[in-house]
Structure 1
Amino acid sequence: MIDGLVQILIWQGMGELISRFFIPDIPGPVIGLLLLLSFLVIKGEVNQPLGMVADTFRQHLGLLFVPASVGVVLFLPDLKTHGLAVTLALLVSVVLTIAVTALVLKLFWKATHDE
């Protein structure tokens, strides 16, 4: 498990360095995640220690929603004031996300099955 955490921290550290010296507009953890994703795509598999860490994180993913929930409660007066706008923005974003996902899936399906 420690090996997997070290791998994640190394990728995050590389992302931080790239962010600090080359691309300051993008957060280091995002760059590190993209580097890790690229590495795993090239490699074609996830090694066992990294897979164990990923499974553990996935099992406790719900805990990441606790700070967001606290933020919602903290800004409840603002949400009451702008409730209609927030609801409309959420609905539009969900519909657009589903539509774009369906379109991309349709394009990929057509590209892979026309050959």
Structure 2
Amino acid sequence: MRRAVVPLLLILVPLSASAELIPAVDVDRACLTAGTARADCVRRQQFFYDETSLLWDGLSPAGQRYCIEKAEDTRQRLPRGYYEALNSFVRLRAHLEQRDRDRVDPPRFQPR
């Protein structure tokens, strides 16, 4: 019995270890430069972070890395908009990955 369990565990560990975490950004500090619009800046970034976190686990690890790389490029130019940029890439990537999955296994309508 133990022999059957060990190979399964060896397969599962590398798959879960390759997923990326949503990068942590000091939004409060980045939004300090927004002046009187600081509260709006923080609210916007919170909104985009929350929406990103809903889609994040559905992305492939490669998709997650791609989104992080692209958002990092944006971060250099616009530090206050990191989660907004990340969200844009995540939404697009999630759509593309779903489209690819649908080509292999098209969705079927299921009345309830």
Taking structure 1 as the reference length, what is the TM-score of the superposition? 0.31
More helix by share: 1
Taking structure 2 as the reference length, what is the TM-score of the superposition? 0.31
- From the CA coordinates, give the structure whose radius of gyration is larger: 1
